[in-house]
């Protein structure tokens, strides 16, 4: 099952950019925020939502399973 990821970007008339990253639990959203910072430049503030503090999904591979 895939999860939905969203990046909501708002640009004011003065050029101020606000971004809200949704659907990426844990510190994975920080990676997305770094990419956005490279695109838009200086970050004046950073507010973490409750999603940031959720555990990151674990991905495992079972090499011993047979189908």
Q: What is the DSSP letter of 21?
A: E
Tell me the pLDDT tens digit for each residue of 15-54. Answer: 888 888 888 887 788 888 888 889 888 888 888 888 888 8
CA distance 25 to 4: 11
pTM over 0.75: no
Long-range contacts of 19-26 (CB under 8 A, 24+ apart): 20/49, 22/51, 23/51, 24/51, 25/51, 25/52, 25/54, 25/55, 25/56, 25/57, 26/52, 26/54, 26/55, 26/56, 26/57
């Amino acid at each position: 099952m895939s999860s939905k990821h969203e990046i909501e970007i708002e640009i004011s008339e003065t050029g101020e950019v606000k971004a809200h990253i949704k659907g990426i639990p844990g510190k994975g959203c920080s990676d997305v925020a770094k990419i956005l910072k490279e695109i838009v430049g200086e970050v004046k503030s950073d507010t973490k939502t409750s999603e940031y503090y959720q555990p990151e999904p674990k991905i495992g591979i079972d090499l011993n399973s047979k189908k």
